[in-house]
Structure 1
Amino acid sequence: MKKMLLDMLKSTGRWPEKPVISLVGAGGKTTCAYLLAEELAGEGKKVLVTTTTHMEHPNFLGRNGAIDQSPEEIAAALEKSPIVTAGTSGLGGMKMRALPEEVFGAVLPYFDAAVIEADGSKRHPFKVPASHEPVIRKETTHIMILAGMPAMGRPLCRVCFRMEEAEKLLLETENRGPAEDGRDGSLAERILTPGLAGRLLEAGYVQPLKRQFPDAAQMILLNQTEDAAAVEELQKNTSVPVFGRPSDPVRANGRIHLILLAAGFSRRFGENKLLFELDGRPMYQYPMEIFRTLKAVRRDIASVCVVSQYARILETAGEYGFCPAENRESAEGISSSLKLGIKKSREADKTDGTEEHFYCFFVADQPHLRADTVNRFLDGFLRSGKKIGCLASGDTTGNPVIFHESYVPELMGLKGDTGGKKVLKRHPEEVFLCDVGEELQLHDYDSRQSLEDRRIKGNAE
């Protein structure tokens, strides 16, 4: 039987009545923080989840949150769930920041355990910390150091956050010249192996943290792997226990239907904006290029449907190999296109009916959206276990929006110029929000003026 995260931590030494666990490094800290919290809650504990740096806002994770609250208000949130995520408002609303030290100290007695994300890695799968990192609370009893298995076998410069710190450690601890690990004289191009990762984590995290927190038990988690040999190689190069954790399961039988809603009248634009050329390409063609890329890289795309009232768009959809769906009822609003897209997608599906189905809606006037962003969004959504998902930036939600098939009756019940966002707002607890990264990717063009403003701003930048 595979060890759970809690079993791993308990095996590292004395287990206190009220554990305070700090997660550092890179490669899945937030995911592991909530897995730990859920395992602790399963033992009947009341669990505080927080950060000393920043982490995803609980609202965007569907979590029970208490942001900018007093210790008493944070404790009161336990009435909703045994796991409470607490912090202060972060810039842009997508992240939360640390609790003030006095608030953390005051709220801790209300809980039986605390799980703290205590390091930042900017989505890199590996990290070597700077001298001021990580930020560990003095109450910490256990430190879990993470490294992502997807970083292994790749050049350090492509996977390591704080590459300059990695270079310093390598120069300090090794004699330059040909040696193991594929070293070719370029530190940045060194291939990260589990052995090299172990040496960097030992020098960057383990030894400094032993000096600063001698009573805190430490372990390393090689995340997203079942490779026992990789775990063993890393273990040979560090002085603390090393464990492996397999990848999160993805809905293996999920089937995704991509639906482009391209039947609007563009009244505010002054002409058909979907046919308007931007950088030499009509607006509607941008999402079609994304669809073509997704079909090439993903096996779970069941169908692609383009809904429009315009012959040129429908003809192009056919040329791309997509299913064109003529909407003769466009005057009834976006709900007519949405429902037609679902109907045609179901007709195009050739599976035996045993798979889960998801309907992902795109708009045709969002030309800055990128295929890699959509691919990341779909992966994150499938792993989340949620049934609704959309892209977001700060407090702004945007397209695409994806729905599990269980929401089809609600979607088919929409009327007039009402889209799927109405269904999304009814079920906030079921929504997975994916940070788009660049807000520009969410931008759509309602008027010629908005397009000109964007061009002027782009030229100025």
Structure 2
Amino acid sequence: MKVYYYNEDKWTESGDLWQALSLDARMKRLRAVRENAPYVISFTGAGGKTSLIRRLACEGRERGLKVLVVTTTHMFRPKQYGVLTRSKGDVRRMLQKESIAVVGKEAGELKITFVGTWFYEQICPLADLVLVEADGSRRLPLKVPGVNEPVVPKNSHMVLSVLGLSALDQPAEKLCFRAEQAEEIMRAHGRPDYKDGGQWIVRPGDVACLMQHAYLYPIRVRYPSIPVIPVFNQADEPAQVQTVRGLLDAMGEKRGIACGQLRFDPCVDLF
């Protein structure tokens, strides 16, 4: 995996998502206020949420932390580290043994869903880091959230909003979940000629437009006290990384991440 992160006008390359998110400093500040509180990160959007969660779970475990993974919507049933029993004791034992626990309720079609607010609040203190898949995308690189989405827990300390660059130069109707709603955003905020020739072919500025108006702005209104950071995934080539740099500058964002080559990451099949 390659990570490039932007912070206050400075770009840095890293192979470490942990460093890109300044998690050591953020967790230290949290523990100064609440000694045993876990740090909670919610992942929204499309185009690599689960892969990024796996990577960050790996990095957390490498640092000796206990990592809890949950979903407030749906995700695929884990191949390992899964706890589907709704037992706090089982979650504790998995964290003690493996340092990672993927907790959910069976939902059919090889998927799991949210365990419920009460149980979620019971198990969060068992972990040092909680990673929440808070949005569904049908494995497409672009998405506009539905009326009740994303489902971000109230105890979140950070939200990562992810969109995938594999949609670039492709028809939006094939690669965007809720394409009709995305077109509404484009008509209101995007380039006037987005449907030149009768078909919407996704351009870099379109991804930025959806990132801002479907995710960043609405989530920041709902959660004004926590960082909401744009993540452009599938930036597998240097030219795509440069594209993200230009987008973040044009968007006026002070923080942002470009990452790629996750499909080659050793953590890709973690759970």
Alignment TM class, shorter chain as reference? 0.7 to 0.9
Deviations 1:194-213 (A, max 9, x none): 22111111011001101111
Residue 22 of structure 1: CA displacement?
0.6
Check 1:214–1:200 CA distance in 2 against 1; reply closer, same or farther (3 A cut).
same
Check 1:250–1:33 CA distance in 2 against 1; reply closer, same or farther (3 A cut).
closer
Work out whether 1:71 is the aligned partner of 2:91: no
- What value does the CA root-mean-square deviation take over the aligned residues? 2.4
Within the candidate set 110, 120, 127, 1:111 is matched to: 127
CA contact (8 A) 1:128 1:166 kept: yes
Residue 85 of structure 1: CA displacement?
0.5
Q: Higher RCO, 1 or 2 (CA under 8 Å, sep at least 6)?
A: 2
Classify the secondary structure of the residue corresponding to 1:216.
Answer: coil
Report the counterpart of residue 35 of structure 1 in structure 2: 55
Report the counterpart of residue 102 of structure 1 in structure 2: 118
Check 1:120–1:240 CA distance in 2 against 1; reply closer, same or farther (3 A cut).
farther
TM-score (norm 2): 0.83
Residue 159 of structure 1: CA displacement?
1.0
Q: Give unmatched runs, 5+ long, in structure 1.
A: 252-381, 387-431, 433-461
Deviations 1:286-315 (A, max 9, x none): xxxxxxxxxxxxxxxxxxxxxxxxxxxxxx
5 Å matches for 1:358-377?
none
Check 1:175–1:228 CA distance in 2 against 1; reply closer, same or farther (3 A cut).
closer
Work out whether 1:151 is the aligned partner of 2:167: yes
Work out whether 1:165 is the aligned partner of 2:185: no
Q: Distance in 1 between matches of 2:52 and 2:195?
A: 32
5 Å matches for 1:21-420?
21-59=41-79, 63-92=80-109, 94-174=110-190, 176=192, 178=193, 183-184=195-196, 186=198, 189-225=199-235, 226=237, 227-235=240-248, 236-237=250-251, 239=253, 241-248=255-262, 250=264
Residue 14 of structure 1: CA displacement?
4.2
Check 1:161–1:77 CA distance in 2 against 1; reply closer, same or farther (3 A cut).
same
Letter aligned with residue 159 of structure 2: I
Letter aligned with residue 247 of structure 1: Q
Q: Distance in 1 between matches of 2:47 and 2:64?
A: 28
Residue 384 of structure 1: CA displacement?
5.0
Structure with the greater alpha carbon radius of gyration: 1
Letter aligned with residue 78 of structure 2: P
Letter aligned with residue 260 of structure 2: P
Deviations 1:160-216 (A, max 9, x none): 11112101212222584x4xxx64164xx2222222111111011001101111122
Classify the secondary structure of the residue corresponding to 1:210.
Answer: helix
Q: Distance in 2 between matches of 1:66 and 1:174?
A: 43
Residue 249 of structure 1: CA displacement?
5.3
Classify the secondary structure of the residue corresponding to 1:80.
Answer: helix
Q: Distance in 1 between matches of 2:267 and 2:95?
A: 26
Report the counterpart of residue 10 of structure 1 in structure 2: 22
TM-score (norm 1): 0.50
Letter aligned with residue 35 of structure 1: R
Deviations 1:235-266 (A, max 9, x none): 12253522111213549xxxxxxxxxxxxxxx
Q: Distance in 2 between matches of 1:175 and 1:73?
A: 52
Residue 115 of structure 1: CA displacement?
0.3
Deviations 1:316-358 (A, max 9, x none): xxxxxxxxxxxxxxxxxxxxxxxxxxxxxxxxxxxxxxxxxxx
Q: Distance in 2 between matches of 1:242 and 1:162?
A: 24
Q: Distance in 2 between matches of 1:169 and 1:75?
A: 44
Q: How many residues align?
A: 246
Q: Give unmatched runs, 5+ long, in structure 2.
A: 1-12, 32-37
Identity of aligned residues (%): 30
Check 1:50–1:194 CA distance in 2 against 1; reply closer, same or farther (3 A cut).
same
Report the counterpart of residue 19 of structure 1 in structure 2: 39
